[in-house]
Chain A
């Protein structure tokens, strides 16, 4: 799941300082589950903005709507008839949702209310840990299900490096060494030959935005216009 955390209140307030009527758009999927940008978080942020601006004798009118997903055109359609009533849009979705919203309403200023942190697992209520950086070149099959891009401080495809220290990473004693964990798990599975294999480094350079079309679906050319 994509996880995010709300931006500091001062930063959000500052982005909206020149606007009098703003629509706060929540997203009902990933950021709602991670308690950052769903319906309830929209209401809390709106209440805060309302009170803060009244205290400054400069009231703001905040609209609230939460769509199922901001990364799907069909859900953004529901906003078409209401955005014109507002000076600006605040989005509580991940960076994907904010951009899709801005694409759909290019004449309206769109602001992000959350910082998108990554792809994470849920360890306990309100506690999320990153596990994937969506590198598009998955090596988990060879690394015993532990991602070296995410879990290794250097993102090494061939490790460990000289900084491994009794199971921990040199950057912090609280940070386990990913390649130590990979070694331990591969050893337990009697698959240590995998750690000796050499993996070419991930092709991060010359990155362009990736498009994914699942087999059997439309081609990129047939994507609908906004």
Chain B
């Protein structure tokens, strides 16, 4: 499809979003990422039944942890789409990038070097 999406996004592949752990998201922010989002399959369509539902719970948990320590909880988000929705993937990437740009840089970035 050769779709464009923001170049600042770094993709980390996982076999299922159920593999994404609280610590993976926390570490991303701790190491200076401005935001992190998880893109899972549509709810109800997980090959492993509930991987994407577990991922959502973890994202929401990390969001609460970030609020607790004084960062914006919305720096982490969960999106869902099916594997055939390339344009939606690009749209979510653009939406997340614009959203994070509004929040501004991660204040922990200066400690990450």
Contact = CB atoms under 8 A, between A and B. Distances in A.
Interface of A: 9-10, 40, 43-44, 47-48, 50-52, 54-56, 59
A120 to B, nearest CB: 21
B41 interface: no
Nearest to A126: B57
B108 A44 contact: no
B23 A44 contact: yes
Nearest to A47: B26
B26 A44 contact: yes
A55 B71 contact: yes
Interface of B: 21-23, 26-27, 29-30, 65, 68-71, 107-108, 111
B29 A51 contact: yes
A52 B70 contact: yes
Minimum-distance CB pairs A-B, first 10: A52-B69, A9-B68, A47-B26, A54-B111, A55-B70, A51-B69, A47-B30, A48-B69, A51-B30, A43-B23
Main DSSP-derived SS at the B contact region: helix
Given A40-B23, A55-B69, 15 more contacts: A9-B65, A9-B69, A10-B68, A40-B21, A44-B23, A47-B26, A47-B30, A48-B26, A48-B65, A51-B29, A51-B69, A52-B70, A55-B70, A56-B70, A59-B111
Nearest to A13: B69
A10 B65 CA distance: 11
A113 to B, nearest CB: 14
15 contacts: A9-B65, A9-B68, A10-B68, A40-B21, A43-B23, A44-B26, A48-B26, A48-B68, A51-B29, A51-B71, A52-B69, A52-B70, A55-B71, A55-B108, A56-B70
Contacts of A56: 70
A36 to B, nearest CB: 14
Contacts of A47: 23, 26-27, 30
A61 to B, nearest CB: 12
A32 to B, nearest CB: 15
Contacts of B65: 9, 44, 48
